[in-house]
Structure 1
Amino acid sequence: MKRKFGFVFAVFAATVLVMALQKPVFLAWYAAGAPGTGIGDWLAVLRHGLSLDLTVAGYVTALPLLVTLATLWIRLPERLGRRILTGYFVLVSVLTAVIFAVDVALYGYWGFRLDSTILIYLSDPKEAMASVDFWLGVRQTLLAAVYAGLMIFLYRRVTRLFDGEPTGWRTALPGSLAMLLLAGFDFLAIRGGVGPSTANVSKVYFSPTMFLNHAATNPVFSFLSSLGDRNEDYAAAYPFYGEEERAARFEELRGNGAAAAAPTERVLTTDRPNVVIVILESFARTVMDERVDGEWVMPNMQRLKSEGVWFENFFANSFRTDRGEVAILSGFPAQTNLSIMKLPAKAHGLPSIARTLAAAGYATSFTYGGDLNFTNQASYMYATGWQELIWQKDLPFGPNFSKWGYDDSLVCDWFADRVIALDKSGEPFLAGLLTLSSHEPFDVPYAKFEDKILNGMAFSDDCVGRMLDRLKASPAWENLLVVLVADHGYPYPRTLTYNEPLRHRIPMIWTGGAVSGPRIVDAYASQIDLAATLLGQLGLPHADFDYSKDIFAPTPPRKFAYYTFNDGFGVVDAVGEAIWDATGDRVVTATDPDLLDVGRTLLQTTYTDIGRR
């Protein structure tokens, strides 16, 4: 009997131990990005993170506990029992190791512990793996192998305690009662205690330093517990206000709600320019403003900034390309833990710049050097008015492409020719381009900076700069408006937290012969505001873009930038900023508390809107 109970206790204890081991590994891995954390913080992470470690251990122990309970009454040959349990523990070990290794790798880019968000990007594993550097893949595979090996080593020794012989009914009866009592404690571990709040990620949050809260989070629990979060009741996701109050609050923020007292300020020389929208992969403002030994990392963006209309306080709405594209092209806010692009039935009805311009007689085409099937881009674009999509399979460069597709030097040169040819047709056009070389793993045919990230960004900047120079030297330039805007920011430097405004600050530049002259726009705005601003300059209606504000409109609504992260929002304007974290249901910062209501209204309205589509 002692062996039976000892086996169950050993399974639970071994699981708690290997789960707790993740925390010092994670803290050491990101120690450089978390200055000021000491031994006291490490111990606090271990202490507070223990609750979720116990929960995961409870789940892992449930099956061995039931098997042991059964062996009180029936015989299970030890060799067979140990084989079954070894197979079970190997499965647990491999799953845990893979989750941990992937989580450690992604945290540096995403800024939150692994959850079901990753499944959005695994519908096409080939494309998802394109962002994985070879050596990063090797390193994480080794980490997973070592961690799984350690777990299997411990569990194999634990299984030696397994006793499959029945005890006889006189012992089995009280033993079963004791085992059921033990099962009750195991259930409490799974539930997260006896309090009204069940186990959830926010239980381990204890510090105003979000990195420490994340370090305390068990990634296995974070991932598995989020699998059931994606339900169809979108409107109920963020119930901040009653429906009547929510609608009234949104009306005050609605981009197309206020009638302008005066015409939109003009920054173009014509109502019908040809339009080029270049979406710049990961072009963060922090990278654009970076120098190495006095030399700009992005000299072309700095040059173009001074030649065109420069938006000084411009922000991305999210941290992923698929969400950024929808914000730019449809004026629809990014979501926290889902992507509307991956919901075709919802995304197809979104307004879009392409659809509006197509209705005004523009030919519309979009170019990407990679695969537009990734994250359902092709479906979204065709459904929202892009008449022609040109991507990797259509481009004439042969089989020599990188992990993501053809590099920007090839595609930007081809796209310049494409724009010049479209101009010669004499018909108005909208041409879109998404760059790709400034994306992990930053493998580019370029060697200007030792830092791989900065070198990849510099390469894309060089390609875009040369493309713009070619267009400027052509007749197409005279009637051309080029919008350069990033799809999202980038965690550079690594000390940038995932939710702070600077992480989401990006460049937007309007240039081309159709621009009346250089100027600096100080108003706070974000990607969702491009649609109304562009269409306003063209004198085209934009009443269907509910969230988009014309940056050049002379009257309210209030000018601000709104963004989301997983799971929360940030709002920033000329007065202050506010950041709210949904996981911990806490205000991270609020130098202007009124902005919290702005963010809550937009977040709730976004999900209510999705639910109604």
Structure 2
Amino acid sequence: MRVDPNTIFHQPSFGRQPLSTSAAWLARITRWAGPYVSLVQMLVIGLVLLSLSRLGLMAWQWDRVSATGIAGTMLVQGVRADLILMGYLFVLPLVLAPFLAYRKTQRAWRILTVVWAACGLIFVVFMEVSTPQFIMQYDVRPNRLFVEYLSHPREVGATLWNGFRIALLLGVGATIVLGVSLLRLLKAASTGAGLWSAKKLLLTWPLIVLVVFFQIRSTTAHRPANPALFALTKDAMVNSLIVNSPWSVLDAINSMGKEAKSSEIYGKLPRETVFAQVKAAPWLKDHQFPNAELPTLHRQLAAVQRAKPLNLVIVLEESLGATFVQSLGGLPVTPELEKLKGEGWWFEQLYATGTRSVRGIEAVIAGFPPTPARSVVKLSLAQQNFYTLAAGLGQQGYHTEFVYGGEAHFDNMRSFFTGNGFQSVVDQAQMKPKFVGSWGASDEDLFDKSLERLKHLHGQGKPFFSLIFSSSNHEPFEFPDGKISLHDPAKQTVNNAVKYADFALGQFIREAKKQEYWKDTVFLIVADHDNRVYGNSLVPIKKFHIPGLILGADIQPKRIATIASQVDLGPTLLSLLGVSSEHPMIGRDFARDDATPGRALIQFNDYFAWLEGESATILRPGQAPLLAKYEAASGKVDFNAGTPSKAQVEQAMAHVMLPSLLYREQRYRLGK
């Protein structure tokens, strides 16, 4: 007896379902598609789902969308972006069609295309369902950060479960329900779809490939379309709504494979111009750069001469932006830091280089400028023989140590630190914490362990450098009860977590002052970045404003009012320690000059901003640079400031091209 493959395909084991009204409708409009019926159905359903999601997101963010005046254009261009995504999802089955889309193999072909289409649509649903929560946190659709966090399932899982449980359950539930429904719909709608003859299949296949090629390319310009092409407004979040989350993430994955040349998204600049621009900075122009192989390596003479070099302790505070410091225009939730600021060097205009902890680490600990790529903390060519303060101070006879309340492997920190000068790492496994949250031991436990370690290091009779990295001010904002008077009624909020972190910091500094090593130790308290970086601007500069305080030893009170960057802290600390040394850092030594106008380097998603005074030159991938006026007091960014000059563009380009070049050629290191 002959068995009809169609019957096999629709046996109960594969879940045969009667045609519903929607499946019948879908089957009718795609019957002409022959062997490609499931792919065309995926296209139709995908476009509908993505458009509905975009409409919902636009309605949710209507105040910002309406302010741009391009709501209609967003919908039209959004469909264009969605077609690009669906084109990518066509590629694999289209490649296999000439080999499988025949009557003899029709069962395998139909199973493949139905399952592929269902998986593609489930991916679309999952990413779009995940989008609102991601926007609430990062003010943009899922991007590179979404991918990076997937490599840390324990920490991320604990954060989601403890801080976003309802959203997580609803999102997973919605994805499962819609996924099952879509699979059934696709199977039912494909019933009775016929295959073409081999001749028709092979003759039409090149034409279909050509159509899909142009669908993906979406432009006749020199380069194919990419998400940057859809940046139509001055609001980065609104721009992200024009595209779709699946494509945004796929593009991020693709860009992560090109990180060695990441800065080239802004264009090209001759190598000689890059080095000339960087070395022309007022604080570098008088230095000698004798090693052609290591173009930024130079000798820095300490501005403060000491008979014996001082110890160094850097307290890197998680997500402590100026948002939470009243004297910097923020909330009154850091009273301990406010008390301490009058005891040392207080930076009034210090800016973070990025929005991730590892970006803050590379800037503060390595003096390395930002790029559009991931931080060098996570990149392969920087895992050994890459300059850090620990590497430099280690050559000066320092013992170097990293202390963290969580698991030091997070964000690849352990590998980067141990490969680049840190002689020991202390994390949660070496502590006996009284309180443990999703991200590890509480800040009190962290500082208790740090005090213990500092006393031990002091007893060894050699200078030391200790990097202490806090974590209590991280979602889901867990900290011990009864430690502070809450700022917000609900306990687990960012304002309360900041206030607790500040409380723990105050305790730590008070105890450190009692120790013998205080008079011989320079302390830096600085944030890695702000808690949430958002705003209706391509680059919300105000959200990069962070506190910075240097105190201890013989440091006298001082206010530093000029603009400063995290990359300036390393050279400044070396001077205050009394350490003269060779290093490749391009930052400024504020111990030698704190009056010359400064600058800040800011990377926000794919945008790079060069901030100098009230002027911000903003580089955009695939588009002309912009000139903006930044008012520090209000945080307002005005994009009607004209066009940046050639000199301004070259200066910005040089400083974003330099780190990419130094990383790619492995030239950011000490000499032999």
Q: TM-score range by the shorter chain?
A: 0.7 to 0.9
SS in 2 for 1:372: coil
- Tell me what 2:48 maps to: 17
- Tell me what 2:548 maps to: 508
User: Is 1:612 the counterpart of 2:665 in the alignment?
Assistant: yes
* Residue 504 of structure 1: how far off its partner (Å): 1.1
Deviation readout 1:390-421 (Å, 9 max, x if unpaired): 111111237x5211110102112332343344
User: Is 1:449 the counterpart of 2:480 in the alignment?
Assistant: no
Change (3 A) 1:355 1:219: same
Aligned runs of 1:249-328 on 2, under 5 Å?
249-253=277-281, 256-259=284-287, 272-289=309-326, 296-328=332-364
User: Is 1:229 the counterpart of 2:265 in the alignment?
Assistant: no
CA–CA distance in 1 between the matches of 2:331 and 2:375?
38
Deviation readout 1:587-612 (Å, 9 max, x if unpaired): 26365655433221011111110111
Deviation readout 1:325-361 (Å, 9 max, x if unpaired): 1211111112322221123442422222223323333
Percent of aligned pairs with the same amino acid:
22
CA–CA distance in 2 between the matches of 1:91 and 1:134?
29
Change (3 A) 1:274 1:158: closer
User: Is 1:431 the counterpart of 2:466 in the alignment?
Assistant: yes
CA–CA distance in 2 between the matches of 1:461 and 1:28?
38
Q: Is the 8 A contact 1:41 1:212 kept in 2?
A: no
- Tell me what 2:20 maps to: none
Aligned length: 602
Deviation readout 1:142-169 (Å, 9 max, x if unpaired): 2343255346535643543425565785
* Residue 386 of structure 1: how far off its partner (Å): 1.8
CA–CA distance in 1 between the matches of 2:356 and 2:665?
24
Aligned runs of 1:355-434 on 2, under 5 Å?
355-397=391-433, 401-434=436-469
CA–CA distance in 2 between the matches of 1:35 and 1:360?
53
User: Is 1:4 the counterpart of 2:4 in the alignment?
Assistant: no
CA RMSD between the two structures: 3.5
CA–CA distance in 1 between the matches of 2:306 and 2:346?
17
Q: Is the 8 A contact 2:236 2:536 kept in 1?
A: no
Deviation readout 1:110-137 (Å, 9 max, x if unpaired): 3443334544343332234344353524
Q: Is the 8 A contact 1:581 1:588 kept in 2?
A: no
* Residue 555 of structure 1: how far off its partner (Å): 9.3
Deviation readout 1:447-478 (Å, 9 max, x if unpaired): 61226011111110110011111222344333
User: Is 1:186 the counterpart of 2:224 in the alignment?
Assistant: no
More off after superposition, 452-461 vs 346-355: 346-355
SS in 2 for 1:253: coil
CA–CA distance in 2 between the matches of 1:308 and 1:585?
42
* Residue 283 of structure 1: how far off its partner (Å): 0.6
Change (3 A) 1:454 1:588: farther
Q: Is the 8 A contact 1:256 1:545 kept in 2?
A: no
Change (3 A) 1:49 1:542: farther
CA–CA distance in 1 between the matches of 2:237 and 2:559?
36
Q: Is the 8 A contact 1:273 1:481 kept in 2?
A: yes
More off after superposition, 142-151 vs 525-534: 142-151
More off after superposition, 20-29 vs 277-286: 20-29
CA–CA distance in 1 between the matches of 2:331 and 2:597?
38
Q: Is the 8 A contact 1:256 1:546 kept in 2?
A: no
- Tell me what 1:108 maps to: 136
Deviation readout 1:415-446 (Å, 9 max, x if unpaired): 23433444455433222210100111111224
CA–CA distance in 2 between the matches of 1:108 and 1:271?
50
Q: Which amino acid aligns with 1:132?
A: L
* Residue 308 of structure 1: how far off its partner (Å): 1.7
Runs of 5+ consecutive residues of structure 1 not aligned to the other structure = none
Aligned runs of 1:165-204 on 2, under 5 Å?
177=203, 181-204=207-230
* Residue 378 of structure 1: how far off its partner (Å): 1.3
* Residue 366 of structure 1: how far off its partner (Å): 1.9
Q: Is the 8 A contact 2:122 2:178 kept in 1?
A: no
Runs of 5+ consecutive residues of structure 2 not aligned to the other structure = 1-27, 289-299, 630-640, 667-672
More off after superposition, 586-595 vs 312-321: 586-595
* Residue 27 of structure 1: how far off its partner (Å): 3.0
User: Is 1:214 the counterpart of 2:252 in the alignment?
Assistant: no
Change (3 A) 1:233 1:100: closer
Q: Is the 8 A contact 1:342 1:376 kept in 2?
A: yes
More off after superposition, 17-26 vs 496-505: 496-505
Q: Which amino acid aligns with 2:314?
A: I
More off after superposition, 246-255 vs 549-558: 549-558
Deviation readout 1:34-92 (Å, 9 max, x if unpaired): 546379644332222111111122333556778888898526667x7665444223322
TM-score (norm 1): 0.87
- Tell me what 1:463 maps to: 504
Q: Is the 8 A contact 1:368 1:390 kept in 2?
A: yes
- Tell me what 1:331 maps to: 367
CA–CA distance in 2 between the matches of 1:331 and 1:449?
35
TM-score (norm 2): 0.80
Q: Is the 8 A contact 1:523 1:551 kept in 2?
A: no
- Tell me what 1:531 maps to: 570
- Tell me what 1:342 maps to: 378
* Residue 583 of structure 1: how far off its partner (Å): 6.1
User: Is 1:55 the counterpart of 2:108 in the alignment?
Assistant: no
SS in 1 for 2:467: strand
Q: Is the 8 A contact 1:256 1:542 kept in 2?
A: no
- Tell me what 2:633 maps to: none
Q: Is the 8 A contact 1:331 1:529 kept in 2?
A: yes
Change (3 A) 1:277 1:83: same
Deviation readout 1:182-234 (Å, 9 max, x if unpaired): 55433322221455442311232222222221111111112213323234672
- Tell me what 2:190 maps to: 162
User: Is 1:589 the counterpart of 2:618 in the alignment?
Assistant: no
